[in-house]
Amino acid sequence: MSAELMDGGVRGVFLTLDEVADAVNALEDGGVAADDITVYSPIPTPHLEDAIDRPVSPVRLMTLIGGFLGTVTGLSLTLWTFFAWGLRVGGKSIASLPVTVIIMFELTVLLGGLFTLAGVFIFSRIPAMHTKPGYHPRFSNDLFGVFVHTDDDGMAQQASTILDRVGAEAIESVA
């Protein structure tokens, strides 16, 4: 079952960043799947990004799709315009590729940027209609949190033991 579908679990509260990284590593070594661990941090930090092995964000794919659509749209728009209102000047061809480059570039940047913005909102789930399970408001202020998604009592007990062993300030079971 996906971790986002499980509402229950165990939440550990930590004061320092090193304790959180140790807790994540200990949980993964203890058999907890990486997808079942959610880390809350008041600051962005590369230490947590190294400890948490997450997949690459799909936002850059959205940028690529937007850029490709912008290029194709710019090329098709200019070629359609050339042939819809053909104006032959001095015996030159009606459609010319160098003329289309500016429109193609502009639409590539425009649609690439818009698709990137849309991808950020979609994949970041902005606006958040509800808070994630295990979140506590102090995790945005001064504490770090590790939440283990589980509906199994045995796994919850194991996660509690691991979090206590690595030095959690508080351990709570969240239903």
HSE (side-chain half, CA atoms, 13 Å) at 147: 22
Domains in the chain (CATH in brackets) are: 3-42+142-174 (3.30.70.1710), 59-123 (no CATH)
Contacts of 158 (CB under 8 A, 6+ apart): 30, 31, 32
Rounded to two decimals, the pTM is 0.65
**According to the model, what pLDDT value does residue 51 have?**
65
**According to the model, what pLDDT value does residue 92 have?**
73
Contacts of 72 (CB under 8 A, 6+ apart): none
Full pLDDT tens readout for the chain, 175 residues: 444 556 788 999 999 888 888 898 899 888 888 888 888 888 888 777 766 767 788 999 999 999 999 999 999 999 999 888 877 777 777 778 888 999 999 999 999 999 999 999 998 888 777 777 788 888 888 899 999 998 888 888 999 999 999 988 988 888 7
Give the 3-state secondary structure of residue 29. helix
> What distance in Å separates the CA atoms of residue 111 and residue 10, rounded to the nearest whole number?
43
> What distance in Å separates the CA atoms of residue 104 and residue 68, rounded to the nearest whole number?
10
In the structure encoding, which two tokens stand for residue 93, read together?
A: 């061809």
Give the 3-state secondary structure of residue 17. helix
CA 167-3-169 angle, to 5 degrees, is 15
